[in-house]
Structure 1
């Protein structure tokens, strides 16, 4: 069985000049560098400083974990809209369980197991009940949000008596040199996911399922098994994010924390599909997507201080732009392939239909 999967939806045609290939494959990386230089020149005393880097790395590490969590099922052609609500639930549970006398290590474990169960529930709704992933995960997200409000009564939970373990706070308080601990955790998770997706069969199977589920099944890929695994993995990562939110909250958790992460996470994932591995979701691309969003928002907020609309405006416009670029370029690629004469001789090195699954992959529908 051939398991090679390659999406060429956004990749430049063979014979394209190197500079065009560079802009197509690494254009987002170049844009990130350009934005950094511009903001560093305009605000050298506040933007281009180690302190600002540490603050941004620490504050955006949760977003990075959630963006990676949403990327995994999107690779398999599914979308999980419950991630923000899940993070909100698990940050409440991680602290509340300790206030009920549960050891912090067991509290963390229970949160991770709970995250896996929510991922499994989403997978069962999508795979067994055949409910559209958009509807299923949106519904479970609302149920999770209701559970969070039921637990908290709609109020914040405060550890005023200092019942939580000191070691729990240290989960988010440590650092590796200048790097905040939460950023290191997020980066390690991203690199692990990248390696698994790029160099192990699980990655090839997920990409095959996302490109063409029926074709993947015909080649022997157990589609249902890998979709369930992707959703469960996403749920566990959401729980990790929730635990880290609680760890850095200094004993105060809010019942409405979480949903605001959904749009930025989706934005980063879709941006990531336009770089490094154009035409498909990928972990490194997601990391770059979070990076450019962080640099853009931070730079604009320093240039135009006090304007709280900048972040949602930036995320909304960027999400529309990312999806538009992916969709338009994918359609152009398909049109170019259909316009190719059937008797044209294949170029050496081009993937043939027998060895490539899904030559044009559009983002999962929102």
Structure 2
């Protein structure tokens, strides 16, 4: 006797879809590189172009990682562009006008950047102010401090120039590649270890995904959010030191130019490697996509307005894809939870 037909079981999400979502951005990078190499065979696929990308995009990559850390906790640090500008002029101010030894000047700027990060976290969490508004306000204050320190003018070194050791922090090579590229790789490795393998990083992800659940688990959400802003401030200060060594001139208005690329890379990175959540490896892939695209467009003779157009369009695309990835991840988790368990084997 035939029993009644069993209801159809929900379909499990296919692993291929996750693979495409996780590594589609990496495939896009390879595709863009191939397209520009075919279009510009004499200039694009060269060692000089690759070294230029690694050197010039190191600071945007580091600042994107600085923006990524608070995003893990669903907060945004809009002060990183202003902090970058203040950090790089302060390094030069201490070295040129204060005659500080350059290692001590760099250390002092890093400490100050960490303090700014702590203040951002305290204002957001203990002042209960939205992170957009709070960091925009503190960023504006940092910009005012930058103008006060520089008097609205550039800081230009004297005839002797800057110390050679300080310039070599940025303008040197290792294994035939620019040293700043290794800074980026080291920072990505540290952030990946902290966020993916240590309890601190897992707690940050819990705070970002469900603050109420974090409270129930005994995770101090306020303290961990302050940690995230502190890390963002320290990374921004490090980027400011590199920017000072790159430019070798203090420009009080240069930091804002890096704000849009940083958030474009951080948000687009949340759609790669670990789709649906901000992660350092995805941020690195996203910055690589942006760097390859911008370099190819520049070599094709793109006008000056193509750069902000590219970044603005990428930012909108990144926000849309990040939201879609988060919703898809939630649906996949719900579907997997609702799947009926396998029936026990017959006796």
TM-score (norm 1): 0.86
Residues 87 and 240 in structure 2, CA contact (< 8 A), matched pair in contact too = yes
> Structure 1 regions of 5+ residues with no counterpart?
1-12, 349-366
Which ranges of structure 2 fall in alignment gaps of 5 or more residues?
Answer: 1-9
1:341 is displaced (CA, Å) by 12
How much does 1:333 deviate? 5.6
Q: Distance in 2 between matches of 1:160 and 1:272?
A: 41
User: What pairs up with 1:31-180 in 2 under 5 angstroms?
Assistant: 31-99=28-96, 100-162=98-160, 164-180=162-178
CA distance in 1: counterparts of 2:77 and 2:342, whole angstroms: 39
Q: Distance in 1 between matches of 2:111 and 2:324?
A: 40
Q: Does 1:216 align with 2:214?
A: yes
- Tell me if 1:345 matches 2:343: no
Counting helix residues as a fraction of each chain, which structure ranks higher?
Answer: 2
Which residue is 1:246 aligned to? Answer: 244
Bigger drift between 214-223 and 284-293 goes to 214-223
Matched, 1:315 2:311: yes
Distance 2:238 2:338 in 1: 53
Secondary structure of the residue aligned to 1:70 is: helix
Q: State the Cα deviation string for residues 243-271 of structure 1 (Å, max 9, x = none).
A: 1111122x322111111111111011111
**Which residue does the alignment assign to 1:26?**
23
**Greater Cα shift, 80-89 or 172-181:** 172-181
Residues 298-327 of structure 1: per-residue CA shift (max 9 Å, x gap)? 111222x15011111111111111111222
Are residue 266 (structure 1) and residue 266 (structure 2) matched?
Answer: no
Q: What TM-score do the two structures reach when normalised by structure 2?
A: 0.91
- Cα gap change, 1:150 to 1:26, in 2 (>3 Å): same
> By how many angstroms is 1:343 displaced?
7.1
Quote the residue 1:354 is aligned against: none
Larger Rg computed on CA atoms? 2
Q: What is the alpha-carbon distance in structure 1 between the residues aligned to residue 55 and residue 38 of structure 2?
A: 23
Distance, in Å, in 2 between the alignment partners of 1:247 and 1:141 is: 23
Whole-Å separation in 1 of the counterparts to 2:244 and 2:339:
60
After the TM superposition, which residues 163-242 of structure 1 pair with which residues of structure 2 at under 5 Å, given as runs? 164-242=162-240
